[in-house]
Amino acid sequence: MNLLFASAGDSAANYWALGGWTLLLAGLLFAAGFAVLRLRRWREPASSDLDQQVALYRSLLKKGELSPREYRRILNQLEEQRGDSSSQAP
């Protein structure tokens, strides 16, 4: 703390103290921003991934590479996954 209130003649100490506090503040802001992004990603439902999977299986059904019975079974499993993932978020 003495470095923050050093005498005016000790400008090098003031410079390094100010730089250290600036780096500390920048690091804390970066860590807080990273934590917020991770929390948002964790709380968001993975619906876009599930929607992409549904679109893929729908295209396979239209091409005839997947039977309607298999398609319904897969849809039911995906809906169960969507229900499970939404119940895990706080």
Query: Would you state the pLDDT for residue 80?
Result: 85
Contacting residues for 31 by C-beta, under 8 A, at least 6 apart: none
Q: How far apart are CA 34 and CA 12, in angstroms?
A: 33
Tell me the pLDDT tens digit for each residue of 14-58. Answer: 777 888 889 999 999 999 999 999 998 887 765 667 888 889 999
The predicted structure's pLDDT at residue 18: 83
pTM of the full structure: 0.42
Contact 82, 44 (CB under 8 A): no
Cα gap 39→21, rounded to integer Å = 27
Residue 89 or residue 10, greater confidence: 10
How is residue 82 written in tokens? 């969507």
More confident residue, 39 or 2: 39
Number of separate helices (H) and strands (E) present in the chain: 3, 0
